[in-house]
Structure formats: structure tokens, C-alpha cells
Structure 1
């Protein structure tokens, strides 16, 4: 089959008197694959036709005509974008039906727009087949991808996952073409406010370009944020990372959920994703970020949560954390109710190291802390009975 397709595409398609017929045949084959998609909602609607379709699918599965495919990243894209669709044809059949069309796309890149156009209504196996063909097509086109850029500039609704795959392949080069970066940025700014489309080009963006869109990246599903984070920290061969790990942490904490319209959990999940990468977000990185944030006015909402996470991850940071807590006392942390709760939790978890910090609190706040964490009282009393500090201790 592959040999026959190459013959048609390379030898016959260039002939004017048959090119139109070949192209129409390829279109019909593509559409026949797409039209085999069955809406899963229809399967469960209770209609007689839906029931018959469901039985037919089961029979096909039992007869062994459907072939399962190994899970790959492109397969996952198809699953994500098409959870509501069921493919009524096997993957191999979908491959066969669309192969000629993709071969013609190499000769006439403008044909690719139809793939984008039918993508949203394609079944899972058809999408998988499309995803397998796209990298081959784009690499065959090489630098001759102006038609692809035209499609990228105004993609049909529902083709977002295909668009992202195309961008991933085009951005694989050490230095993605400037016209690609410009096109994607313009698309995001004018038509498609989905930050996921920016992920493939993030290594090529500067700090100045990344910071304004960073909250939108945090607002993505966690797996996509992790991809974005990897690209930001990777940077390009010429410019290096757009943000350092410490700058990433600060940028996460600078997000005001209410202002940005992002759920607080998205921000906390982003923080946790950083802590999972301990070889990147080291104790040195955490100390640097916390040192920058402790002087911010107002203090970031998640500051104390991150302090606690930091000392949990790196217990050797305890002395540094005590310095941070002392600074917070001087900033009258008790006047910041949400942060005060975290402060008290931190001093409780870090006792006896935190006793000296506790003794820096004014008497009313110290009493409040001891009432909140009663187990501190006896231990602190024993600590404070030492002659060297007894004279400076408020009444407890």
C-alpha cells in the first residue's frame, strides 16, 4: 500500500489531467474515515438505532477486527480531545483511509486545512492516525511550511489538540523560526486564549514575555503546567532559561487568585509541582526565593505554606527558617490573620528551635500562641527557665 501511495503521489498526482480526480478520491477517503465516527451520546440515548450501533460495535470487538494500539503521547492527545467519541473502525483502517491524503499534503501543503477542519468530529482511531501522520508530514515539508503557518493563524474550533501537536513538531528545532513564534503569539493574543498553545514556544520566550502569561500557565491542568514549567526552565540554547527556579517560585506566589480568576488550588498545586523537583528546586533555591518574598508588602498569601513545605523537604533549613520567622515577628505577622495561622503552625512544628522566636512575640500574642498549641507551654517554660534567657522572658 505504501508503495502504491508513493507512486500515485509522486508520479501521477503531478499530472494535470488526473490530479483533480486523485485529490477528490483522497478527500473522499479521508471523509469516509471521519464519517465512521459515532457519537457516544447517541449510543446511550436509548434509541433503536443507537442500540443496534452499540451491538454492532460489540460484535466487531468480539470478532477481533479491532486492534488495540500501544499507548503513546499522541494517542493520549486523541483520548483527551475525544473522550465523547468512539471509533467504529480500527486504527489500521483509519491509517489506510487517510494515508493518500497526507501524501498529497506533502505535494500541496494547503490541503492540510481540511485535516484541521474535520478534526473535531473525527473518532479516536482517526485522530490517532492523524497524529501519527502529522510529524512525518511536517518533517517532509521542512522549511516549506508557509501554508501551515496560515492554518495556525486561524485554526478551526475544536482543532486545538492538533494545533498543539503541530506546534510541538515545528518547535523541535534548536531555534524555532521567528515567524512561527510571532504567529502563535498573535493567535493567543487575538483569537485563542488557551495558554496551552504557547507551551511549545516557551523556550524561545524571554522573561519579559513569560511573566505576563505565567498566571494563565498556572491555570492550566497540572500536567500541562508541568510541561510549561519544564520548557520555561529549559530555555533556548542562545538565551538560557526564561526564568530561574527561584524566579518561578516568586512568580507563583505573586499570583493573586481573585485578581487573575484562578482557583487557589491551582496555585498550591503549582507550588507542590516545584517541590517535587528537588534537584531543580534545591534548598538554596528555596532560601533565595523566600528571602526575596519575606520583604514583600503585602506578604504573598501562600508564603507560610511554602515556608512549612520548605522545612519539611529540607530540615537543614531550620536555622534559615528561624531567621525568616524573626523577620515576620518584626513585621507584626499577627496582624495578618491568614499568615498568622501558618506562622503558629510553623513554630509548633519546629520546636524547640522556634522557642527563641516565640519569646520575641509581645505578651498577648505569645499567650495566644500557647493557647492555640497547648503542648508548647510546658516545653517553653522549661526552656525559658534557663538563667541566660530568663530575664528577657514575658510572663507565661
Structure 2
């Protein structure tokens, strides 16, 4: 056997037979004739009887394994019943309907079929939105969402006992622009006190709706409630980063910077690719608005080591509150690209785009915006750097020395 395997049982030696055949063999080996009486069998067999062949050797019995000791029966853990009750309460519509359930609720099968049709439409919409080859999402997507909304309402989604159905219905309303309806649905779900995972998702979705409505103080409280229920580090990082955005919208730049840094501290190296990029961008804007332009540029460069082409901040899952805030992100992004580019047309073009983005922010922001004055100062600073770049481009190169 191979090394480390169980050792084979040692075979017991064969027991010598004392019958006539064995004695005859011993006599043959010694070369001496034995008397007839000695060659007779023990039971008086005649000499004319043929000698019996020896019996085959008995194989040794395998050793009997020791019987394992009987372990005492342990009582079930008390938390098992609680977990089972929680799972059943979290998915009351997942179990197969029985005769009694059909009798008590004859329309349950019809509602389940309607929800299945709506979920299929949502899956198609999600595939369409994620596919870079299909550009008709703005045309086809709302049609599927409106049809899914109709199916959900026919199935009684606003008052469903399944928290996931209400969450999906609220998401449909938000995507269709009915943010107030989504808020009402989510607040009704929270009043029903669903299980903790559903409450965390509901508070998160409600915070996003509050952000779209400009209710930033309520948004911050909603994120606090979600953070109290969310155990996963990556999800907590997303909640902290979004909450930092709300602090920045209220003008509390110190709390915003602290929130972004707290979000980054919870992420591992692999999570940075998915959740850290947008957090680094948000921290860059917060640092710039706190007066640290150089720190902002460095964090944008770090974000681009994970996402070189800025796909995440330009993706479908990323939105800006307020909407004109996208110009600030664009201005810093072009500014960082200009400083990283070599002297030439690429650097000059990046500076032009940065100045245009600053002008877009100033034109779109209302008069009471917290950062309009800083945006004007940044535009002037960026324009000065652009002028210096243009002067260096127009400066003639020194003539090569003549060879003698």
C-alpha cells in the first residue's frame, strides 16, 4: 500500500496437519520408511484407503472494529425554530399551495402567475439595460416597465405579504419616475415590520428615493437605519458613500469626507473594483470642495487605476444629486487627464473640456448652491493652466546647434 494508508493485516501461519498425508510427506522428505502402524490413520483407517488431501488453510478473520460509543442525544438549539419561523415569514408565497391554502385564498395561483409574468419582463429589461449592443433601452424599457407595473398591481403588489414583491414594485415605480409612489410603498412595507434583510433593503431604497426628492435630512436618517441592519462590508461601504453624498448636498463637507473615508476603510482589495471606484470619485469631489485640489486629482488617478475609462461613474446605475453635479465630476476628470497628458494637443484639449465643464456647472447651478463660488474660482484656475499650456505650445523650439 501507499505511504500513509492502513497497514494490511498480517496472515497467520498455517497450522501443521497431523494426519497421514502430512506424516507421509515428512517421511518422504527424510528418506526413511515409516512402519505401517504409524502410517495408519488415527481412527483406524485401512492402509489401502487413499490419503486425504489437506484442507485449504483458513483465512484469518478480519479484526472486529470496536463499537463506537453511544453519544448522548442533544436537544435542538433554540435558535433553530426561530430561524425556521423567520424563513417562513420572509417567503410566505414560496411554499407550494395546499388544498387548504387554495380554499382560503382561491386567487393565490392567479397572483403568482401575474407576478411571474412581471418578473420575466423585469429580467428582460435588466438584460437590455446591461447590454452594450442594444441602444433602444429608452424606447423599449419603459414599455416593459409599465406592463410589469400593471401586472404587479393586478396581483396586489402594494399590499402583498411578500416583502420582495413590494420592493420590486417600488423599484418599478422609481424607474418610471413615480418617486412619491415608491416612497409610499416602501414606507408601508416598513410599517409592516418585515424581516431584517428586507428592512435593510427597504431603508436603502427609501434613502435613494429621498435623495431624488431632495429630502437629504431624511435620506441621512434612512441610511442610518439601513446601516444598523446591514452586516456585509461591501454593502455598508455603498451605504456610507451614499450617505456622504447627502452630507455634501447639505454643505457639511467635513462629514462627507469622513463618510467617504469610512466607506473605503471597509473595502477589501477585490471589492475596490466594484464599490471603491465611485467612492474614490466622491471623495475626490469632497476633497476639492474642502480646498484640497491636489488631493482630489490624486484620488481620481487612483480611481482610474481600477476603472481606466470611467465606465462606472458613466454607467446606468450611477446618478447625480443634484443632476448638475455631473459637471463637477467631469471638470475634475478632464483636469486630471490634462495634468497627466504629455505636452501637446491632448493636454490642450483636456484643459478645454475641463473649462467647459466648469462653465456648465456655473450655468446650471441655482443661485443658492453651496459651491458656485468655488466653481468660479476653479474655472479661473483651470483657465490659467490652459493658457500656460498654450504658451508653451506656441513657444518655438530652440534651434539645433550647427555642426562645424
Range class of TM-score, shorter chain: 0.3 to 0.5
Per the normalisation by structure 2, the TM-score is 0.37
Q: Which has the higher helix share?
A: 1
Q: Which structure would you say has the larger RCO, counting Cα contacts within 8 Å and 6 or more residues apart?
A: 1
Per the normalisation by structure 1, the TM-score is 0.38
Pair member with larger Rg = 2
